[in-house]
Structure 1
Amino acid sequence: MDGVLGTASTAGAVFAGTNIDDIIILTVLFLSARANGKPRPWQIVTGQYVGITALVAVSVIAALGLTIIPDQWVGLLGLVPLALGVWGLIKAIRAKNSDDEPPSAVASGLLSVASVTVANGADNISVYTPMFRTIGVSATLITIAIFSVLVALWCLVGSLLGSHKKIIEFVERYGHWLVPFVFIAIGTVIVLESGVISHLIDLL
């Protein structure tokens, strides 16, 4: 029992430590859902599960000695939220210049939510891989189960943070500018912190 509790505690600490920034993304997504109707809450939750599942799957495969994406290129996934943010900003500028209705949400469906989750958590692979390589099959299954529960908790926290009336009113008014900038910032941080730019420069 102590082994199970220890594994569960470690899994919880690892998940929290590597996904604390996901709270910000989930809050923004739930705010967008309430202000714009997109993405729908079920798409946010499902997209988060799909994204985390993909990260865990890649980590388990890598732990078995197979490399899907070389570590030095993982940072390129940051281009996903960056591109979504830039596109959302372009739509906001177009809408302002033409006096149209504010543009729809930056992440509008399950696939885009999952893509942002994967991109934001790409660096988690470097943490999960050695963990799965050393803890064994039973501990890996327990860890995955704990991760599954914590994804639901993360979504709940994001939903609660995104349910305040004043925040929703603010996002309804300024969200078509705020959300793209948040996504651009997330993508930029992922790319810069990964060191992928220096790898690209080295190839030139």
Structure 2
Amino acid sequence: MGAGQYLGFAGILAVAVAAAFGATFLPESAVPYLGLLPLTLGIKAAVQAWRHRGDDDGEPELTHGGPRILEVAAITFANGGDNIGVYVPVFATAGTGGMTVYVVVFLILVAVWVAAGRYLATRPVVARALSRWGHILLPVVLIGIGLLILIEGGAFGSTG
């Protein structure tokens, strides 16, 4: 998942940096619709889990390599809409040097989070839980993230 995490986060940083320099890649009204990416991936994972519910091979889908790099990257990027909204004004006021420092620190911290995730996933209790419930948990989490992004972003109209 580390490569996908970096790819998705690099996309977030690239959009934020470009927007900070005056380019507008994502209009504000489009950001909530990034929630469609994890929602679609979650529905796909749910359909696959449902189709393979009777399979008795002893290995849930999660153990077959886990999510693909591009799926992780898409989820990371889609979930980063709020990050873009925060990073753009910070980057725009930090100047090139300050922006570089921010980007380097963010990339280092992504490595820390990925390492922590890998450590936890290799603990026997966590690994057993993921092995038993991961094929159900993954679609639920992805659909939840997608809906949260859509709802909180106002894709279905104003919430306030």
TM-score scaled to structure 1, two decimals?
A: 0.70
Per-residue CA deviation, residues 97-143 of structure 1 (Å, 9 max, x unaligned), is: x4454652496311111101001112111100000110111111111
Structure number with the higher helix fraction is 1
Aligned 1:11-160 pairs, distance under 5 A: 44-96=1-53, 98-99=54-55, 101=57, 104-105=61-62, 108-160=67-119
- Superposition misfits of 4+ residues, deviation over 4 angstroms: 100-103
Q: Is this contact kept in 1: 2:15–2:84, CA < 8 A? A: yes
2:130 equivalent among 171, 188, 200: 171
Per-residue CA deviation, residues 42-99 of structure 1 (Å, 9 max, x unaligned), is: xx11111111111111111111222111111111111111111111111111112x44
Question: Aligned partners of 1:67, 1:165: CA distance in 2, in Å?
Answer: 46
Aligned residue identity for 1:70: P
Matched position secondary structure for 1:197: coil
Q: Is this contact kept in 2: 1:85–1:184, CA < 8 A? A: yes
Higher relative contact order (CA 8 A, sep 6+): 2
Question: Aligned partners of 1:170, 1:74: CA distance in 2, in Å?
Answer: 34
Identical aligned residues as a percent = 39
Aligned length: 155
Q: Is this contact kept in 2: 1:76–1:191, CA < 8 A? A: yes
How far did residue 161 of structure 1 move? 2.2
**Structure 2 residues not aligned, in runs of 5+:** none
**Structure 1 residues not aligned, in runs of 5+:** 1-43, 200-204
Matched position secondary structure for 1:113: helix
Q: Is this contact kept in 2: 1:107–1:113, CA < 8 A? A: no
Query: Which residue of the partner structure matches residue 155 of structure 2?
Result: 196
Q: 1:121 to 1:157 in 2, by over 3 A?
A: same
Q: Is this contact kept in 1: 2:60–2:131, CA < 8 A? A: no
Please tell me the root mean square deviation across aligned C-alpha atoms, in Å: 1.8
How far did residue 148 of structure 1 move? 1.5
TM-score scaled to structure 2, two decimals?
A: 0.89
* 1:182 aligned onto 2:158: no
Q: Is this contact kept in 2: 1:75–1:195, CA < 8 A? A: yes
Q: Is this contact kept in 1: 2:5–2:110, CA < 8 A? A: yes
Q: Is this contact kept in 2: 1:84–1:107, CA < 8 A? A: no
